[in-house]
Amino acid sequence: MTATLKHASDNALLAPPAPLRAQPRSPRSSILLRLSVPVLILLAWALGSASGTLPANVLAPPWAVFDSAWSLARSGVLWHHLSLSLTRAGLGLLLGGGFGLALGILAGLSRLVEELVDPTMQMIRAVPFLALIPLLIVWFGIGESSKILLIAAGAAKPMYLNAYGGVRNVDPRIIEAARIFGLTRWRLIVEIYFPAALPSLMVGLRLSTTMALLALIGVEVINTTQGIGFLMLQAQEYFKTEILIVCVVIYALFGLATDLVVRVLERVLMPWRAAARK
């Protein structure tokens, strides 16, 4: 009996520990946790401004920022510049992301396309997209075309890399089994490659939206007369720190909104992930 207990105890020590599973939180608790850090930052900002620790000429108090945002929104100036920035970012992301997605999938599926395209894309990947601004201005002028193309150039690279890697990393044993069952080339792409590559594609979409936002800031700050970036330049010229903060917050909300859209897409396109978490 003692030997049996000792043997069981030794086996228990050798066995791997059970994985720790976090207790699922309610949606309300999750939202409160996500809001806690921004609220604390806002409180610290307000206390620092009220006590004089943060001078108004260095960092405008939050109430002055809210007042400026309300005045810009009520006058229509904010919505005019915001609509132009959203249009540029959306068109550039659609153009560059779609191009990178198609090219990455083709390069991942075809050895010939990979040999033709991938070396060039790897070289382009090393070129900062802001370095293309003078060249695009020479080719397309200072109109909207050069701005949208620069945003597209920034969005295309991460989408291409993740689409190519996602398709190439599909388990070849799954492909071989699907071919044994008689799946056609098109059904292989739709039913095997695409679902298996979806996690990489979602990462590529998230990175593409980030790069599109960075490119948007670059083109609007360097060469434009309309948009949120132009509003920032005007505020900088007249030392309006409250308007500068409004513009920075708008760019941050851009990033938050695109991340939420990608999360919703992940839940719709990959429902098995939510089921696995539960």
The pLDDT value given to residue 258: 86
pLDDT single digits (tens) 146-176: 888 888 988 888 999 999 888 888 878 877 8
Instruction: Indicate the pLDDT class of residue 60, thresholds 50, 70 and 90.
Output: confident
**209: pLDDT strictly greater than 60:** yes
**6: pLDDT strictly greater than 50:** no
DSSP assignment letter at 132: G
Q: Give the mean model confidence (pLDDT) for residues 107-134.
A: 81
pLDDT higher at 269 or 249 = 249
CB neighbourhood size of 26 (10 A) = 8
Tokens standing for residue 68: 């400026």
The string of DSSP letters for 146-161 reads HHHHHHHHHHHHHHHH
**135: pLDDT strictly greater than 50:** yes
- Sequence-separated (6 or more) residues with CB below 8 Å from residue 77: 231
**Cβ(54)–Cβ(48) under 8 Å?**
yes
Instruction: Indicate the pLDDT class of residue 91, thresholds 50, 70 and 90.
Output: very high
Walk me through the domains of the chain, giving residue ranges and CATH numbers. 76-277 (1.10.3720.10)
Alpha-carbon separation of residue 224 from 76, 163, 170, 216 (angstroms): 19, 32, 43, 11
Comparing 29-38, 57-66, 92-101, the range with the smallest average pLDDT is: 29-38
Q: How many CA atoms lie less than 13 Å away from 199 in the CB half-sphere?
A: 7
pLDDT higher at 275 or 131 = 131
